[in-house]
Amino acid sequence: MTEKVSPRVVWSIVATAILGFVGILTETSMNVTFPDLIKQFNVPMGTVQWLTTAYLLIVALMMTTSAYLKAVMSPRKIFIWGMISFVIGDIISIFAPSFWPLLIGRLIMAVGTGIALPLVFNVILMSIPPMQLGKYMGFGGLILSLAPALGPVYGGLVTYWLGWRAIFVIVLPIMLISLVMGWRTLPSEHQAEAASFDWWQFIVLGVSLTTALLALGELESGKISATIIVLAVIAIVAMVLFIRIAGKSTKKLLNLSVFKSKGMVFALLIYATSQAINLAVNFAIPQYTQLTLGATTMVAGAVLMPGSLLGSISSPMYGAFYDRAGATKPLTIGSISFFVVMVIFSIMAPSITSIGLTVMYALFTLGRNLAFNTSMTAGVAEVPREVSGDVNAIFNTIQQFAGAVGTAIAALFIKTTSATPAAIAHQTATGLGRLFWFSTVFAGLSLIWLFGFTKTKTGK
């Protein structure tokens, strides 16, 4: 007999998911505004892309705190702190007079998003019976995945009719609804654990991830400079130091002992690869649509919407598929179809039309989402339930950082150095084709990760 889930639990999932939803919505809606922001603030693509890259970096770093926050705070208190951070950053972004205040506002918003996203799945993992876990992970994923579905068209419509600042104004009433809902349904009682936060781990990890992204950004020059080498060395040394500190520390940040599970590691690799490619494609398509095809921000957003909506609608079905068939079958179908679509996408890329982009992106999303959604649930299932929160934190952290890497890489390919519209259009089209072939190689790597995952299953 299936254990019944109370409406209060369902609404608590919805409340936390709305905060995460708006965080993702504002992130994905900004991509279509980049050509306008470049003109208004007179900054290059390599600079303006930090509105997404730095945002995702801060979200990733904040997600590393989720296990600690879960240990010392009630779900309601975590939710309130995330809400406060997001609203403050949102207001700063509304009134930003130039690029750098806008970036600061976005980073403060990222703190709130980074707190909210792990909370969605922690509430699910704490409240939902194991037999219904796939269904409710899919339900939470459905709400969150609506954000990238609506984000580009929302950003395009709002920017076209009201200007980009209205992107941040319109979400404020939604935040109020989420606040009331979360206050009424999220548990305020909490059995506090004796946990302390390891600031050294947090700082060293932050240095490693930040310098890695800065090194990627420096590749825009097309040369391996001394700056890139120094940044890369710092990133590697800091990561090694983080692993050493984390291995000896008893304080909560990221529980690296879960990496002893080979199945979890391969699932994480599939997850990270598909996320990096997804964010790279999501970044590149609106730029190509506007700079090469000459479309408006509305059209640039609309191109992504059908595929994103299909991905959102399919999330619960993918969760139910996992509950029935286990992890191997959906991962196999998703990874293979993802790779095949990327090959076709790459062949069409240099001269693809807006209709072609719309159709191919829809097919891309269906395959990618099946692999992506299943890999997280499969990874969590590979470890004991008592450390599922730690695995959730790692997956969510990697999701955001992989997205930041994907965006940074896309910005390297979609760069414009010419002044004339015709030359910019040609450079963008060429960059799109090269980016898609580069992404296809990494989609192929997912098949290797899939083989490794299936070997761990057959070996049990």
- Asked if pLDDT for residue 1 goes beyond 60, the answer is no
Q: Report which of residues 97 and 318 the model is more confident about.
A: 97
Q: What is the pTM of this model?
A: 0.85
For 197, phi then psi, to 5°, come to -90, 135
Q: How confident is the model at residue 460 (pLDDT cuts 50, 70, 90)?
A: low
- Asked if pLDDT for residue 337 goes beyond 80, the answer is yes
Identify the pLDDT of residue 402: 94
pLDDT digits (tens, 9 = 90+) for 29-39: 998 999 899 98
Identify the pLDDT of residue 118: 84
- Asked if pLDDT for residue 21 goes beyond 90, the answer is yes
What tokens appear for 90 in the block? 């949102």
For 252, phi then psi, to 5°, come to -80, 125
pLDDT digits (tens, 9 = 90+) for 431-443: 999 999 999 999 9
Which of 452, 268, 442, 260 is CA-nearest to residue 372?
268
Q: Report which of residues 286 and 223 the model is more confident about.
A: 286
Q: How many residues does the chain have?
A: 460
Identify the pLDDT of residue 448: 95
Q: Give the up-direction half-sphere exposure of residue 403: CA atoms within 13 A in the CB hemisphere.
A: 27
Is residue 206 classed exposed, middle or buried when 0-12, 13-18 and 19+ CB atoms within 10 A define those classes?
Answer: middle
Q: Report which of residues 71 and 59 the model is more confident about.
A: 59
| Range among 118-127, 241-250, 256-265, 408-417 rated most confident | 256-265
- Name the average pLDDT for the chain: 88
Question: In sequence order, what are the residues at sequence separation of 6 or more whose Cβ sits closer than 8 angstroms to the Cβ of residue 31?
Answer: 52, 151, 152, 155, 282, 283, 286, 287
What tokens appear for 343 in the block? 């090959």
Identify the pLDDT of residue 252: 65
- Asked if pLDDT for residue 359 goes beyond 80, the answer is yes
Q: How confident is the model at residue 459 (pLDDT cuts 50, 70, 90)?
A: low
Rounded average pLDDT over 283-304: 91
Q: What angle do CA 332, 336, 338 make, to 5 degrees?
A: 120
Separation of alpha carbons 114 and 398, rounded Å: 12
Identify the residue whose tokens are 């007079």: 97
Question: In sequence order, what are the residues at sequence separation of 6 or more whose Cβ sits closer than 8 angstroms to the Cβ of residue 78?
Answer: 69, 70, 115, 119
pLDDT digits (tens, 9 = 90+) for 222-271: 678 889 999 999 999 999 999 998 888 777 677 888 898 999 999 999 99
- Asked if pLDDT for residue 133 goes beyond 80, the answer is no
What tokens appear for 315 in the block? 């999330």
Identify the pLDDT of residue 288: 93
pLDDT digits (tens, 9 = 90+) for 195-231: 678 888 999 999 999 999 999 888 876 678 889 999 9
Q: Report which of residues 148 and 360 the model is more confident about.
A: 360
The answer to which of 1-10, 256-265, 302-311, 334-343 has the lowest mean pLDDT is 1-10
